[in-house]
Amino acid sequence: MNRTLRIGTRGSALALAQTGAVADALERAGASVEIVTVSTPGDRSAAPIAEIGVGVFTSALREALATREVDIAVHSFKDLPTAADPRLSLAAVPAREDPRDALVARDGLTLGELPVGATVGTGSPRRAAQLKALGLGLEVVPLRGNVDTRLRKVTDGELDAVVLARAGLARLGRLDVITEALDPIQMLPAPAQGALAIECRVDDVDTEHLLQSTLDDQASRAAVAAERAMLAALEAGCSAPVGALAEVVEDLVDDGTTDGRVVLRLSLRGVAATPQNEILRASATGDVTAADQLGRTVAAELLDLGAAVLSGPEA
Ligand SMILES: NCc1[nH]cc(CCC(=O)O)c1CC(=O)O
């Protein structure tokens, strides 16, 4: 391919960092690329994400791609609505970063070391619900803004701590500020957290092939597919109090030999909070090639437990 591929991205420091890494990988593969910044309503509004709705960061980028303003779109996967866009192809899901949430607290404190009444900033209903469910007496304070703005609340002494995606800090080279990576047992990340979604137009098969062969990671794609199938089956938006984490695990099956045989399986854990802040949990393991089905299975279990009363602000 000798055309220059235009890669669309949001203009935040985080978006530029992750798009830069994608551009580098494509250049190493011999492609010629150019980065194009697309401003999104999510970047222009200071309102809580829960109020401005699904896709605030991603629809403008998808539009720019569909209308041929750009050839490739790089999204934080967790910001993408679960509804597919028939004009676009999810050409690559690169190897995922560590998907955990991270605590950044004053004085190097961990979650368990924060005193009763300590203020913890997060704009995410999912993080808020799981923090409250720990029963530590933490005071969850609404918070929005880019990574730097959120970190400053702690350095300025306005809040005792904030919770952010570890992956965002990793991409910005700010892992040093983390005082605790939160165990998924306490805090399941957002579906697809830490993963990127790289899209191109469905009819642009050359670009699709380049992205797929250069950047796609099958295990990350399967894990994210399971998490998002769970989210979709709960009909919850990206800001709903739903967490999910799928991992490819080795499973030993008895095949009659003394050692048994190791097969790869996909394990999925899900959490949903009811409006009463009751935490519901479910998990299952399935075939790596049946990720969507696994997601629907865990969602069905959550619905059985009472998650039906649950709906995101826009669901
Ligand atoms: N909704 C904001 C958002 N979207 C993606 C990331 C970064 C991490 C990722 O790629 O999952 C963040 C920041 C955060 O949640 O702290």
Residue 152 lies in a domain: yes
Task: Say whether both 200 and 254 belong to one domain.
Answer: no
pLDDT at residue 274, rounded to an integer: 86
pLDDT at residue 251, rounded to an integer: 87
Q: Domain boundary at 157, 181, 205, which?
A: 181
Q: What is the DSSP letter of 115?
A: P
Query: Is residue 79 annotated as part of the catalytic site, yes or no?
Result: yes
Residue 189 lies in a domain: no
Task: Say whether both 208 and 68 belong to one domain.
Answer: yes
Residue 169 lies in a domain: yes
Which one is catalytic: 24, 43, 71, 79?
A: 79
Task: Say whether both 280 and 300 belong to one domain.
Answer: yes
Task: Say whether both 54 and 118 belong to one domain.
Answer: no
What distance in angstroms lies between residue 193's CA and the mean position of ligand 1's atoms? 7
Task: Say whether both 290 and 235 belong to one domain.
Answer: yes
Q: Pocket of ligand 1, candidates 43, 49, 52, 78: which has the most ligand atoms within 8 Å of its Cβ, to mutate?
A: 78
Task: Say whether both 247 and 268 belong to one domain.
Answer: yes
Task: Say whether both 57 and 205 belong to one domain.
Answer: yes
pLDDT at residue 88, rounded to an integer: 98
User: Angle between the 218-233 and 291-305 helix axes, to the nearest 10 degrees?
Assistant: 30
Task: Say whether both 301 and 160 belong to one domain.
Answer: no
Q: What is the CATH number of the domain that holds 107?
A: 3.40.190.10
Q: Is the CB of 168 under 6 A from ligand 1?
A: yes
Q: In angstroms, rounded to a whole number, what is the distance separating the alpha carbons of residues 36 and 14?
A: 15
Task: Provide the whole-model pTM.
Answer: 0.91
Task: Say whether both 108 and 69 belong to one domain.
Answer: no
Residue 233 lies in a domain: yes
Q: In angstroms, rounded to a whole number, what is the distance separating the alpha carbons of residues 92 and 191?
A: 17
Q: In angstroms, rounded to a whole number, what is the distance separating the alpha carbons of residues 163 and 195?
A: 18
Q: Is the CB of 79 under 6 A from ligand 1?
A: yes
Q: Is the CB of 164 under 6 A from ligand 1?
A: yes
Task: Say whether both 199 and 86 belong to one domain.
Answer: yes
What sign for the dihedral angle of Cα 54, 76, 103, 145?
A: negative
The total number of structural domains in the chain stands at 3
Task: Say whether both 232 and 254 belong to one domain.
Answer: yes
Look at residue 34 and give its three-state secondary structure. strand
Tell me which residue range forms the domain holding 151: 101-181
Q: What are phi and psi of 259, to 5 degrees?
A: -85, -20
Run of H or E including 210: helix 205-215
Q: Pocket of ligand 1, candidates 9, 14, 122: which has the most ligand atoms within 8 Å of its Cβ, to mutate?
A: 14
- Cβ(270)–Cβ(243) below 8 Å: yes
**Residue indicated by tokens 């048994």:** 260
Task: Say whether both 276 and 156 belong to one domain.
Answer: no
Residue 174 lies in a domain: yes
Instruction: For ligand 1, atom 14, name the residue with the nearest CA.
Output: 165
Mean pLDDT by 10 residues, the chain (315 residues): 90 96 97 92 60 72 96 96 95 98 98 97 94 95 92 97 98 97 97 98 98 98 98 73 95 87 95 88 97 97 77 42
